[in-house]
Amino acid sequence: MRKPHQIWTLVSPAMHRRLKEYAVENKIASTRAKMIMYILYNFHTNKLLEDYTFQSKSGKMVNIKVSDAELEYIKSLAQRYNVTISRLLRNMVYTYFRVMEKEEQRA
């Protein structure tokens, strides 16, 4: 059996906490890695927002084990947005929660 690939990203402490809270609140797989994969597959945006609050010295690491197919999908997304995989993951999380906040404010 082939070993899964590992990808990682650093996210801001606020996003790290938010990933867990949101997953628990919405009864989604509660690990941060699975929440990020949920966002990648279920959230589609034309424009990624940059998390300007992120600082690598205070960043929290998230390590994700992915299959060959998942890695190829993530690489294609990174290429589409012209960013590294780590930055793609960080910005997708940030964009997802910003969009969710805006939708909640409208309601």
Section 76-105 average pLDDT: 93
Output the pLDDT for position 2. 66
For the range 27-36, what are the long-range contacts, defined as Cβ-Cβ under 8 Å and sequence gap of 24 or more?
A: 32/62, 33/62, 33/63, 33/64, 33/65, 36/9, 36/62, 36/64, 36/89, 36/92, 36/93
Output the pLDDT for position 3. 66
Render 91-107 in DSSP notation, one character per residue.
HHHHHHHHHHHHHHHH-
Output the pLDDT for position 30. 66
Section 15-44 average pLDDT: 87
Alpha carbon distance 107, 64 (integer Å): 33
Output the pLDDT for position 23. 83
Output the pLDDT for position 4. 81
Section 8-30 average pLDDT: 87
The better pLDDT of the pair 76, 106 is held by 76
When the pLDDT of each residue in the chain is averaged and rounded to a whole number, the result is 90
